[in-house]
Structure 1
C-alpha cells in the first residue's frame, strides 16, 4: 500500500524560488486549476493555496471563473452580500470594467453582529476577481461576440503595453469550471509555458482518466491557437493528488489510484493532500483552513505543495 507522502516531498527543499516575471514578461505568473470533472478540489486548491501564498507575502489574485462562484464564497464574497455597484468577472469579460474594478479583497467570517449580519476580516495580500452566476452565459457571449474571446489574453496584453503594471510578488490563480468550453479555453490560451496548469485529482474517484483527457485538450488548444491569436502553450508540470489515504480513509482503491498516477506521471506528483473533513467546512464557515485550522492536514499539506511549487515564505516568522 502507498501510505507515505509523495517521493517529490523530499525534493522540496531543493526547489528554486519561482520566477514571477519569467523571460522579462510584464504580467503576473498564472497558475490555473483545471480538470473537466466536478468536485475534484479545484476550488479548495485555489483558495487554500492562495491563502498560504498570501500569508507568505505574495500578492495573490484569484479569478473565480466557475459559475458556482465557490471561490468567491469561501473568500467571504457570496453573491447575496455583493454591493449593487460591485463589478464582477462577468463585467470584465464583457469589457464593462477594469480588472481592479472587478477585484475585491478576500476576507473571512469572524462572527455575527447583534442583528445577525456576518462580520468579516480581510486576508492580507489576497484578492478575488468577484465571481458571477451569469458566467453560465459566457459560452453564448463568446460565440456571438468572437471579439470577446481574447478577453483574458487582452488583459495580459495591457501589462505588455505598459497600460498596467504587475505588483511586486503578484501571482494569479484561476479557478476554472469543470469543462473545456469557450470560457475555459479563453483563459488557458493566454498562458505560456512559464505558467502552469495544475489538475487536482481525487484519488477516491476516476479522475485519472480525466487527466489524460486534459492533456489531449491542452495539446489541441496549442495546435489550434498557438502563434495565431495567443501564446496558447498551457502546460501541466505537476499533478496534485487530493483526498489521499489516511488511517481512517484507507480503501485499497485509493492506494491503487495513487500508485497508478505515480507510475504514469513520474516526477510530476506534488506532495499529497490527505483526506480531511476540514476542507469541506470552509464553504459554510467562509474561512480557509490556513486561517481557521493552521495545524490541520490540508493546511500542513498545502504548505508543502507551496514549497514544491517554488514559493518560499517571503515573510518568515521571527524566532
Structure 2
C-alpha cells in the first residue's frame, strides 16, 4: 500500500506555470472537495503556495474556505469571469480562510490560512457547457491561462502548486480544463470504498484516453496522467462492512503500486462545511488530518517549514 516518497518537481521539465493536481471522478460524493481542501490546507501549512480552483458549480470548496455566497463581495470576480475572459486569474483569487467565531451581531469572523489562495467558485458554472458550445473559442481557456506564464504575462510564485476541484462529470467544463494539463500534471481520483466507485475509475481512465486521442496533434497538451489513486472512507473498527474490505482489495489488485495511504472513515470531515474550518486546523490529530498528512508525503510534498 505504501508508496515511495520522492520530492515533487513544482516546475516539471522547466516549464513556467505551476504543477497541477486535479481531483476528478464522475461520481458524486467521492471526497473530491474534501481531498482538495484538506490537502491544500496541509500543503499551505507546509510552506507551499497553494492556489485552489473551485470549478464545481456547487461551490463547496469556496464554502469550506470561508467564502459562502452570502459572504461574497458583489464586485468579487470568480472563476466564471476567468473562463469568459472578463478578468485576470489574480482578480478572481482571494485568500483562503476559516471561521474563528462570531461578532456581537452574529456575523462570522474569519482568519486567513497562510499561503492558501482560492479562485472563487460561482454557481453560474452550470452555464459553462452552453457558453463553450456557443463560443468554442473559449474552450481553450485553461490552456490559454497556463500559456500566459510562457508569454511572461504571469509569473508563478516560488513553491506554488495548483489544486483543482472539478465537477462530477466529463462535460465541457471538465474537458476544457483537462486539455490544458500535460503528462507531468496529475488527475487524482478519490474513491469512496463504501460504493461502486471502482467502476467510475475505469470510466475515468477511458475518458482520459479518449480525450488524448481526440486532441492528439492539437495545440493543447491534453495529457494528464493518473499516477495515484486515493481510497477514502476505508474501514475502521466501527465502520467495518465486508464490502468495504472487498473494494479495497479489488482496487489494490487491479491498480498495484498506485494506491496512496488510506484515508479512514471519519465523521470529522462532514463538520467542516458547517464550521467553515478544515480538519488540519480544527482537528489536527483527527484521522483525516493524520491520513492526509501521509498522502501529502506520498505525493512528494515534504514539509518545507521543517527544512527551511
Tell me which interval the TM-score lies in, with the shorter structure as reference length: over 0.9
Q: How far 1:293 moved relative to its partner?
A: 0.2
**Does the alignment pair 1:74 with 2:64?**
yes
- Cα distance in 2 for residues equivalent to 1:198 and 1:206: 17
- Cα distance in 1 for residues equivalent to 2:216 and 2:21: 19
Name the counterpart of 2:32: 42
Name the counterpart of 1:230: 220
Question: Root-mean-square deviation (CA), in Å?
Answer: 1.0
TM-score, normalised with respect to structure 1:
0.95
- Aligned to 2:244, which of 254, 258, 271? 254
* 1:304-315 matched pairs, under 5 angstroms: 304-315=294-305
- Aligned to 1:107, which of 83, 97, 107? 97
- Cα distance in 1 for residues equivalent to 2:110 and 2:196: 38
Could you list the per-position Cα deviations for residues 214-251 of structure 1 after superposition, in whole angstroms to 9, with x for gaps in the alignment?
00000000011133030000110000000000000000
Name the counterpart of 1:291: 281
Structure 1 unmatched ranges of 5 or more: 1-6
- Aligned to 1:302, which of 292, 295, 298? 292
- Aligned to 1:168, which of 147, 152, 158? 158
CA contact 1:226–1:233 (8 Å) conserved in 2: no
What's the secondary structure of 1:106's corresponding residue? strand
- Cα distance in 1 for residues equivalent to 2:215 and 2:71: 38
Where in structure 1 do 4 or more consecutive aligned residues deviate above 2 Å? none
- Cα distance in 2 for residues equivalent to 1:116 and 1:79: 17
- Cα distance in 2 for residues equivalent to 1:152 and 1:102: 14
What's the secondary structure of 1:315's corresponding residue? helix
What's the secondary structure of 1:248's corresponding residue? coil
Aligned length: 308
Q: How far 1:16 moved relative to its partner?
A: 1.7
Could you list the per-position Cα deviations for residues 239-291 of structure 1 after superposition, in whole angstroms to 9, with x for gaps in the alignment?
00000000000000000000000000000000000000000100000000000
**Does the alignment pair 1:147 with 2:121?**
no
CA contact 1:57–1:315 (8 Å) conserved in 2: yes
- Cα distance in 2 for residues equivalent to 1:95 and 1:111: 36
- Cα distance in 2 for residues equivalent to 1:275 and 1:226: 40
- Cα distance in 1 for residues equivalent to 2:70 and 2:306: 37
TM-score, normalised with respect to structure 2:
0.99
Q: How far 1:317 moved relative to its partner?
A: 8.8
* 1:84-99 matched pairs, under 5 angstroms: 84-99=74-89
Q: How far 1:316 moved relative to its partner?
A: 1.9
What's the secondary structure of 2:231's corresponding residue? strand
- Aligned to 2:126, which of 112, 132, 136? 136
What's the secondary structure of 1:86's corresponding residue? coil
Could you list the per-position Cα deviations for residues 138-190 of structure 1 after superposition, in whole angstroms to 9, with x for gaps in the alignment?
00000000000000000000001111110000000000000000000000011
